[in-house]
Structure 1
């Protein structure tokens, strides 16, 4: 799928499950990162297999198998990704009826889209494991980091300050954090490993928009917040996080308190990837919600 802008033509890789013409509400999956690929979200194929819902996966620009652009930080705005989403909707002719399911950064994108470009065609939102502001995300993630031994905390802070995040001891320390608060499955699922591999193949987008880690967001998203706009969301929203999620309650609560029609479900034995850690419960909650539309 091609998406022209004023300078280049970019290509969006996508995968569609189910029949878009069958009448059921199509679900667009917005992956996290920024910089991950769609691969780790593939368990959401379950929504097609068991609920009969059409599901569309795609790689965002700068990610996975879509076009990678060598652009300055000022280029990478939310509008770039909302434009791409608009192109996906138009390509499949589903602007009149669709649902958005965003995970992590993808949830930030979904919430922003609903506030700033939402149309009557947007039937509902699923905001899973995502924050309502970057500031609240870092409050939660740093609180989790405080639960680790002092030497681990010091190592992470020192390497980030020195810009040596590629060192093996930093990577090992981050892996310990990720295995506690990102995904507790052992070994990690192949889909998740693939998305991490895709990120490592080209980390530019993550470093530009996020920064070196979840504790030190210094990229273009550092001041992002959608809290003051959430009251504009007219559709129903399902908000999900895990008890030990890097997206802590402090970051998730504004969705519940400010979206007029919001439901919040916390999965008690999950971290940031409930579709791997608690799939039966997760897909029951998500499937029941989406099947209403």
Structure 2
């Protein structure tokens, strides 16, 4: 009697497993060309309209999956997609279609000089135009944002979440004032003489001084931005390609010292308006408060949190397996309607 019951159950498990596997595209389907004509490794310059003219932004599509398309929003503002290239080692093998993207003003995209372009609202409209050009919609569109990209993702969701399937906010608090307060906590953990020295440079506006820069990297960035003993080449390349003019105008002189147009940005009381499934990612050594990131997951309607115990601001590098396992599971769960 037990054998009789076991066989149907085995058949059910087999059918379920086959059904799960059928959701993933075959290798041929995944790498099928999207565009006709000369193939360019998935790279496409997307035209966008702005109040001061038309420009082009750089995108690169890796793979094809009609169910799961993830658009990556880099930080900065005005860093590049390059420091997110580690996703290429994880998403394709899961069958996820991923799109790398350099926002306007960043290295691989057009770099107009009109300062009126560098506002959060204008960047939101840019993301929407990129979405339309790449034909992403609520049946398949996942938005990932790290740091400034997290600000952009949340702002996009507040206006256009009807177009989203899911969202991942990585290492970005919903309030710059709250971030500043946590920055003071991190400063209090540093040697007082070091902090006094850094503040002396800041008081004099000597942000580009070589000693100040060296101290920022050795005493702050190496502890809270990326904790790997040797920074990965894509991260160094992104720093090399930073558009400093836009970065300083919006963020301030460094990750250690905030300022610029984002100084008073705060949507903490609007998180409840976000109803799309959302994963909030925090890390123990991040420059963003991981407890605050966890709190954010309770404020959105359909939120979950991921904690990286060995990670920092770039936890997809220095706590890579925990980060990738959690993000991949989130995307799969949303895709399977396990929400």
How many pairs does the alignment contain? 287
Matches within 5 A, 1:1-293: 1-19=46-64, 22-72=65-115, 74-96=116-138, 97-119=140-162, 121-176=163-218, 177-199=220-242, 202-249=243-290, 251-292=292-333, 293=335
Q: Could you tell me whether the CA contact under 8 Å between 2:282 and 2:293 is conserved in 1?
A: yes
Name 2:11's counterpart in structure 1: none
- Mark the runs of 5 or more structure 1 residues left unpaired by the alignment: none
Give the secondary-structure state (helix, strand or coil) at the position aligned to 1:109.
helix
Q: What is the CA-CA distance between 1:6 and the residue it aligns to?
A: 3.6
TM-superposed CA distance for 1:251, in Å, is: 4.1
Runs of 4+ in structure 1 over 3 Å off: none
CA distance in 1, matches of 2:201, 2:274: 40
Q: Is the 8 A contact 1:3 1:10 kept in 2?
A: yes
**Distance in 2 between the 1:32 and 1:251 partners?**
19
Q: Cα deviations across residues 178-227 of structure 1 (Å, max 9, x unaligned)?
A: 0011101121000100111111xx30111100111234322110110111
For the residues of structure 1 that align with 2:288 and 2:55, how far apart are their CA atoms? Answer: 32
CA distance in 1: counterparts of 2:174 and 2:199, whole angstroms: 25
- Report which stretch shifted further, 217-226 or 43-52: 43-52
TM-score with structure 1 setting the length: 0.94
Report the TM-score, using the length of structure 2 for normalisation.
0.81
Shift of 1:253: 4.1
Contact kept, 8 Å, 1:227 with 1:254, in 2: the verdict is no
* Contact residue 107 and residue 127 of structure 1 kept, 8 A: yes
What's the CA shift for 1:250? 5.2
Q: Which has the higher contact order (CA 8 A, sep 6+)?
A: 1
Shift, 1:75, TM fit: 3.5
User: How far did residue 40 of structure 1 move?
Assistant: 0.2
Q: 1:5 to 1:75 in 2, by over 3 A?
A: closer
* Secondary structure of 2:323's aligned partner: helix
Q: Could you list the runs of 5+ residues in structure 2 that have no partner in the other structure?
A: 1-45
* Higher Rg: 2
**Following TM superposition, by how much is the alpha carbon of 1:249 offset from its aligned partner in structure 2, in angstroms?**
2.8
Q: Does the 8 Å CA contact 2:216/2:256 hold for their aligned counterparts?
A: no
Structure 1 residue 258, shift from structure 2 partner: 1.1
Paired with 1:178 and 1:110, the residues of 2 have a C-alpha distance of: 24
